[in-house]
Chain A
């Protein structure tokens, strides 16, 4: 009864447009109070304790730091230099610019940890270039939105940081390593789809007439940017720094490249960059903090146990349950952002994961893949929203293009579900 009230209050508030975190928090406060009517303060003192504890967790500091890295590299001028080098690498022709967009998004994914920041950086350079080469803006927006979704799979990744904070037994380094191969696989699937779409529909025919940049000169120009993922991932692998420290090193490296080497960031821009990053992280962390009250109420109300038992005993079997979960996540992913999905679903789903003895790292990768697909599936697609704004198209116009890319990435997801080793081999062989 109280459990139903908890979810009813949350869903009604959320649909009415109350911020998602506040909807979760208010639903949880009502449920906790209703269950503890005879206790001092109705048992609500747990609310500020959980709120405070969740925001002072040290590992979570990696999140605002990687958001800041995204904001800095967005303006550091590395994206356009990487694009020029990638064109020099793959050459010109129909379908090559979309390929370059995906390639650059993947490399930037090795620096930043959030999809929308990646979409802004890649879209800012690629969408105009693709328009000049004759690609329809709706197609370009679709490619950039989808390509940026590989960002939360390729380490570093904000989604993995949040998952690791929520799930005991899934460390950030293990998740980062586990996301690498699935992220590259998803990127390859998108490349195949984008090139095939371009060739089949005859897009970008004039691209072959455009000049090809010189290889060595563009490699030298791009090298500062290309070194960043090596520094971040290599530094973590070598044990020089923790994920949080890697982010901070990347902050200073990005500022150095942006302010000294490429001179695209001035002293006056710093305030705006830090302010934007603080606000973006606060928006995510506010959901994290308020959802911790929600998770507390879900765990103490005794909803999870009966639910888990019912699911396990439902006769659907391991794969039936997994298929049902995936369907639910795809549908929810169309309407909710990734971090909110993690925070709402993990308290409910984790006991099921444990009951079936699924690997929590593998499950995190699968969940992140589905969230990544949701980031560019209309109507609620955070990445696509960014790229559509840059391309000046409405999201509806992208549907005929973007659905092919959704299918491509879902195929990559199915591969990771069918062969868990795609995710688990790398962290195991690195010894995490």
Chain B
């Protein structure tokens, strides 16, 4: 596939592997002790969230997300470049908005000292990753916006 250049890939791969081991451990422990570890569901959910945003970020950087290509890949080079730039701007705007709103959400959870339902950890420990990783995606999109800029 592609060269392992992006730091997002490395962390996403680690998260994926961790998800496998946690789930397998859960099966084995339940098999041997008839008890299931309830907190793994919460950790797995957050790991899946982090993995998705990281791997999505590298997929945005490589422009591999699902989209309709019929119009965007047709026509002159100039039109293709403009539409690619437009798409990158769309991604950047979406995730900048999510970063701001996500920051606000995490801030509220911090202020009101909300704790997670499973383990009882502060909720903002999890949700803070939404604005952080949304900013990473917005930065990847910004690189694309520059790459597809009109050449002088």
> Which residues of A are in contact with B by a Cβ distance under 8 Å?
13-23, 25-26, 29, 41, 44-45, 47-49, 51-52, 55-58, 60-61, 64-65, 68, 240-241, 244-245, 248-249, 251-252, 271-272, 274-279, 281-287, 289-290, 335-337, 340, 379-380
B48, B60, B97, most chain A CB atoms within 10 A: B48
Q: Is the CB–CB distance between B101 and A44 below 8 Å?
A: yes
Given contacts A19-B87, A52-B105, A60-B48, contact A251 B56 (CB under 8 A): no
Measured between beta carbons, the chain A residues less than 8 angstroms from B70 are 335, 379-380
In the complex, which residues of chain B have a beta carbon less than 8 angstroms from the beta carbon of A49? 105
Q: Which range holds the interface residue count of chain B? A: 35 or more
In the complex, what residues of B have CB within 8 A of residue A278's CB? 9, 12-13, 15-16, 51, 54-55
Q: In whole Å, how far is A231's beta carbon from the nearest beta carbon of chain B?
A: 13
Contact A55 B66 (CB under 8 A): no
- Indicate if the CB atoms of A15 and B86 lie closer than 8 Å: no
Check A56–B49 contact: CB distance below 8 A: yes
Chain A residues whose CB sits within 8 angstroms of the CB of B69 once the complex forms: 17
- Asked if residues B105 and A58 are in contact (CB atoms below 8 Å), the reply is no
CB-CB nearest in chain A for B72: A17
Task: Determine if A56 and B98 form an interchain contact, defined as CB atoms under 8 angstroms apart.
Answer: no
19 more contacts with CB within 8 A, not counting A19-B67, A22-B90, are A21-B66, A22-B94, A48-B104, A48-B105, A48-B130, A52-B105, A68-B16, A244-B23, A245-B24, A245-B26, A248-B23, A248-B24, A278-B12, A278-B51, A279-B55, A282-B51, A285-B56, A286-B56, A379-B70
Interchain nearest-CB distance for A269 vs B (Å): 11
- Which B96-122 residues have C-beta < 8 A from chain A? 97-98, 101-102, 104-105, 108
Q: A64, B16: Cβ atoms under 8 Å? A: yes
Nearest Cβ on chain A to B2's Cβ, whole angstroms? 8
A289, closest chain B residue (CB): B52
**Could you list 6 A-B pairs, sorted by A, with CB under 8 Å?**
A17-B84, A18-B91, A26-B90, A56-B49, A282-B53, A379-B70
Among A57, A278, A283, chain B packs the most CB atoms within 10 A around the CB of: A278
- The answer to the question of B64 belonging to the interface, with a C-beta cut-off of 8 Å to chain A, is yes
Across the interface, B58 reaches (CB within 8 A) one of A19, A249, A279, namely A279
* Chain B residues packing against A (C-beta within 8 Å): 1, 4, 9, 12-13, 15-17, 19-20, 23-24, 26-27, 31, 41, 44-46, 48-49, 51-56, 58-60, 64-73, 83-84, 86-87, 90-91, 93-94, 97-98, 101-102, 104-105, 108, 126-127, 130
Q: How far is the CB of A205 from chain B (nearest CB, A)?
A: 38
| Contact pick for B93, options A26, A56, A57, A252, CB 8 Å | A26
Q: Chain A binding site: helix, strand, loop or mixed by DSSP? A: helix
Closest to B131 in A: A48
A19 and B65 within 8 A (CB): yes
Q: Is the CB of A281 within 8 A of B66?
A: no
On whether the beta carbons of B49 and A55 are closer than 8 Å, the reply is yes
Q: Which 4 A-B pairs have the closest CB atoms?
A: A17-B72, A282-B55, A56-B45, A19-B65
With CB as the reference atom, state the residue of chain A lying closest to B60: A19
Minimum CB–CB distance from A243 to chain B (whole Å) comes to: 11
Decide: A283 and B64 in contact? CB cutoff 8 A: yes
Determine if B90 and A18 form an interchain contact, defined as CB atoms under 8 angstroms apart: yes
Alpha-carbon distance A286/B70, docked complex (angstroms) = 21
Contact of A19 among B15, B49, B55, B66 (CB under 8 A): B66
Q: A370 → chain B, closest Cβ, in Å?
A: 18
A272 and B10 CA atoms in complex are apart in Å by: 10
Question: A residues within 8 A CB of B48?
Answer: 55-56, 60-61, 64, 285
Structural contact, B97 and A44, CB atoms closer than 8 A: yes
Contact A61 B19 (CB under 8 A): yes
Q: Which residues of B contact A20 (CB under 8 A)?
A: 65-68
The residues of B that contact A275 with a CB separation of less than 8 Å are 1, 4, 9, 12-13, 55
Q: Which of A29, A41, A56, A241 has the most CB of B within 10 A?
A: A56
Chain B residues whose CB sits within 8 angstroms of the CB of A244 once the complex forms? 23
Is A274 a contact partner of B90 (Cβ separation < 8 A)?
no
Which residues of chain B are near A279, meaning CB under 8 Å? Answer: 9, 12, 55, 58-59, 64
With a CB–CB cut-off of 8 A, which chain A residues contact B72? 16-17
A61, A65, A287 — most chain B CB neighbours (10 Å): A61
